[in-house]
Amino acid sequence: MAKGLEKTLQKLRTHLTASNRFAEVTIGEPFNAPEGLHCAVFLGTTWTVPKVTLNGSVEERQVTLRIYRDAVADNREETEVLLAEVVAEVMEDLFGDAELNNPSDSTTQLRTLAPTKTVVRFGYQEVKGKLMRIVDILLTLDVDDSFSLAV
């Protein structure tokens, strides 16, 4: 079931880095308070198997994109507007990218992004004593390993 998950995270990081929106994009949450606009890509809280067949399973995997910005040092109004814009742009990029959202790409297991299952949450988080404004984009990946291709 977990095959290709590392490549999925790497592919998302590469895609987000190429957008040039972030000062840094990492796999995993930062240990120190990030500078500028930062995005972390990491495993979400859910991984469900809603269907099992004789040939495999159909899974729903969650990956979190967490965007950070200093909540105190930066202008709050500017931060709110910027985060809303970045979320809209990231979602448009992710769901509109045919290469990233390729159901036949068996090398990464990033089978299908499920836009209707995406959740966005705004909040605050302290990182090493620094208050950060955060946005979590909770992506659901539909992975169907229940079929096999005959040659």
Specify the higher pLDDT residue, 36 or 49.
36
Whether 1 has a pLDDT exceeding 50, the answer reads no
- Summarize pLDDT for 64-108 with one digit per residue, the tens: 999 999 999 778 899 999 999 999 999 988 887 656 655 555 544
Specify the higher pLDDT residue, 31 or 45.
31
Q: How far apart are the first and last CA of the chain?
A: 23
CA distances 76 to 32, 34, 84, Å, are 21, 17, 12
* % of the chain beyond a pLDDT of 70: 81
pLDDT band, very low/low/confident/very high, at 150 (cuts 50, 70, 90)? very low
